[in-house]
């Protein structure tokens, strides 16, 4: 990085990054640029340092205006973030966890919903177990047996008492994963438990009280499912004492660095401190959309670590092919954007006969920006003017 590498300038409606003639230039979204108008989420590379440009990030009183990922402390065990709004969400969980309020965690698959649920359990101070339940896998014909357990002799194969999942989480936390996939019959059974706070094992003559905390998770739009009649409104009301939405990884790319570091330390603590990641690999990791979210990142890191162990650094060729392809996609998208802008400029210059001020008004830009684009694309506005005006 040069001592004076680049400058950020405020335009009327947005910020512009301008390279100051540095040796290596500036790279925006994988493409080398001398100037670039920035939009939210742009990935900026200056030397060996990567930045994510964010617009209108609101900070509340007392929050730091500068965050350093190297010293970032999680407000919830196992969870840390450089996204202020998500940080506030995590901080509130410490208070929510101390109560018995049910929590509904929403987010795409792989965003860390179970990790968040376990953190709530750890913060709660409850002495019982954390019991995860795959809601979609509850067998329709054995729902009450699975949830409530049974007494010895209740049926032919009942050779001993079993507590069931609900009683196993007594004084602890019952985590209902993918609650949106729970069969209708199981929804009715669960609602009864949440209302009465007691269960009656199959074959028992009396109900047993339970003290449990419920955390549910889903990737589905439960409110819409209620409207469509696919999920019980009364059960949703019981589950939503507090709602938490976990954003997808593509919406929190500024967290990618410390997430990578944490995953590497977990996979190989000794090697993690010595391992380098080559710039092109970092670029691909930042440009990839991560449809599988943190779970997909975890698998990519584990695979890359195995392949790169001998070399001591992770290169582009160590990453999964879909991640590698993100580089080509980013460059193609930028070229497509440039082509579209160039065509728009040419069309407006023809329409306004080379009048740059009129083109600027039509595009909602400053004249200076239009002149920059004309220079970048090698367009001479004079060539569009009538011959007697030249």
DSSP letter string, 313-368: EE-GGGS-HHHHHHHHHHHHHHHHHHHHHHHHHHHHHHHTTT-HHHHHHHHT--HH
What is the average pLDDT across 188-193?
A: 90
Number of Cβ within 10 Å of residue 384's Cβ equals 18
Q: For strands 130-134 and 6-10, give the pairing.
A: unpaired
Report the distance separating Cα 255 and Cα 249, nearest Å: 8
Report the distance separating Cα 336 and Cα 106, nearest Å: 35
More confident residue, 228 or 85: 228
Please give the pLDDT value at position 186: 87
Please give the pLDDT value at position 39: 85
More confident residue, 347 or 171: 171
Give residue-wise pLDDT tens across range 113-169.
999 999 999 999 999 999 999 998 888 777 887 888 877 766 767 667 788 888 899
Q: What are the backbone angles phi and psi of residue 100, rounded to the nearest 5°?
A: -105, 15
Q: Residues with Cβ < 8 Å from 204, sequence gap 6 or more?
A: 150, 151, 154
Of 103, 109, 232, 206, which is closest to residue 148 (Cα–Cα)?
Answer: 206
Number of Cβ within 10 Å of residue 354's Cβ equals 19
Residue 216 is classified by DSSP as: E
Sole residue written with tokens 């790279």? 27
Start-to-end CA span in the chain (Å): 45
Please give the pLDDT value at position 64: 63
Please give the pLDDT value at position 362: 78
* 93: pLDDT strictly greater than 80: yes
What is the chain's mean pLDDT, rounded?
85
Lowest mean pLDDT among 29-33, 71-75, 81-85, 124-128: 71-75
Please give the pLDDT value at position 98: 92
Report the distance separating Cα 14 and Cα 23, nearest Å: 26
Please give the pLDDT value at position 65: 61
Report the distance separating Cα 239 and Cα 180, nearest Å: 12
* 330: pLDDT strictly greater than 70: no
Give residue-wise pLDDT tens across range 354-363.
999 988 887 7
Q: Sorting pLDDT into bands at 50, 70 and 90, what band is 305? A: very high
* 344: pLDDT strictly greater than 80: yes
* Side-chain-facing half-sphere of 234: CA atoms under 13 Å: 10
């Amino acid at each position: 990085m040069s001592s004076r590498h680049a400058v950020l300038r405020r335009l009327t409606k947005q910020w512009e990054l301008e390279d100051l003639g540095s040796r290596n230039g500036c790279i925006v979204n994988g493409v080398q640029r001398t100037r670039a108008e920035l939009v939210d989420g742009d990935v900026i590379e200056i030397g060996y340092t990567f930045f994510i440009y964010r617009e209108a990030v609101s900070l509340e009183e007392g929050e730091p205006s500068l965050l350093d990922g190297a010293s970032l402390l999680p407000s919830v065990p196992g969870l840390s973030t450089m996204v202020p709004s998500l940080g506030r969400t995590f901080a509130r969980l410490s208070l929510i966890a101390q109560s018995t309020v049910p929590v509904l965690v929403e987010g795409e698959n792989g965003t860390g919903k179970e990790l968040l649920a376990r953190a709530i359990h750890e913060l709660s101070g409850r002495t019982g177990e954390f019991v995860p339940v795959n809601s979609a896998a509850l067998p329709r014909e054995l729902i009450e047996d699975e949830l409530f357990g049974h007494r010895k002799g209740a049926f032919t194969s009942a050779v001993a008492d079993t507590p069931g999942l609900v009683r196993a989480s007594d004084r602890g936390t019952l985590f209902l994963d993918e609650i949106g996939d729970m069969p209708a019959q199981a929804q009715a059974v669960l609602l009864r438990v949440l209302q009465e706070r007691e269960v009656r094992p199959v074959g028992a003559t009396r109900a047993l009280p339970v003290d449990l905390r419920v955390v549910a998770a889903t990737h589905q739009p439960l409110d819409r499912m209620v409207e469509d009649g696919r999920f019980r409104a009364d059960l949703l009301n019981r589950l939503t004492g507090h709602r938490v939405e976990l954003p997808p990884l593509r919406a929190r790319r500024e967290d990618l660095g410390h997430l990578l570091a944490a995953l590497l330390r977990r996979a190989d603590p000794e090697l993690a401190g010595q391992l380098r990641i080559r710039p092109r690999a970092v670029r691909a990791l930042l440009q990839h959309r991560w449809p599988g979210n943190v779970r997909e990142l975890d698998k990519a890191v584990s695979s890359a670590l195995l392949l790169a162990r001998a070399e001591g650094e992770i290169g582009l060729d160590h990453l999964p092919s879909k991640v590698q392809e993100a580089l080509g996609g980013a460059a193609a998208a930028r070229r497509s954007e440039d082509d579209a802008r160039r065509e728009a400029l040419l069309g407006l210059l023809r329409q306004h006969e080379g009048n740059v001020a009129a083109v600027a008004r039509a595009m909602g830009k400053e004249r200076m920006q239009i002149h920059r684009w004309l220079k970048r694309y090698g367009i001479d506005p004079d060539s569009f003017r009538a011959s007697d005006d030249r």
